[in-house]
Amino acid sequence: MTMYAALLRGINVSGHKRVPMAELRSLLTELGHGDVRTHLQSGNAVFSSTCDDENALAAELEQAIEKRFGFPVPCLVRDGAYLAAVAAACPFPAAELEGRQLHITYYDRPVDADRFARIDPAAFRPEAFGLGDRALYLYAPEGLGRSKLAEALSRTSVTKGLVATSRNWNTVEKLVQMTAPPGAAQDGPAHGRPARDGAPA
178-199 pLDDT tens trace:
999 877 655 545 455 433 333 4
Answer positive or negative: Cα dihedral of 57, 110, 188, 99.
negative
Q: C-alpha distances in angstroms, 77 versus 7, 51, 106, 115, 152?
A: 6, 12, 10, 23, 26
Q: What is the phi-psi region of residue 200: left when phi exceeds 0, alpha when psi lies from -120 to 50, beta otherwise?
A: beta
Task: Check residue 194 and give its pLDDT.
Answer: 39
Q: Find all residues with CB under 8 Å of 76, minimum gap 6, and list them.
A: 6, 7, 9, 58, 106, 107, 108, 163, 165
Closest CA to 131 of 121, 141, 122, 123: 121
Q: Find all residues with CB under 8 Å of 145, minimum gap 6, and list them.
A: none
pLDDT digit string, tens, across residues 132-166:
999 999 999 999 989 999 999 999 999 999 999 99
The answer to whether 118 touches 74, Cβ cutoff 8 Å, is no
Residues 201, 111: Cα–Cα separation, whole Å: 16
Task: Check residue 12 and give its pLDDT.
Answer: 81
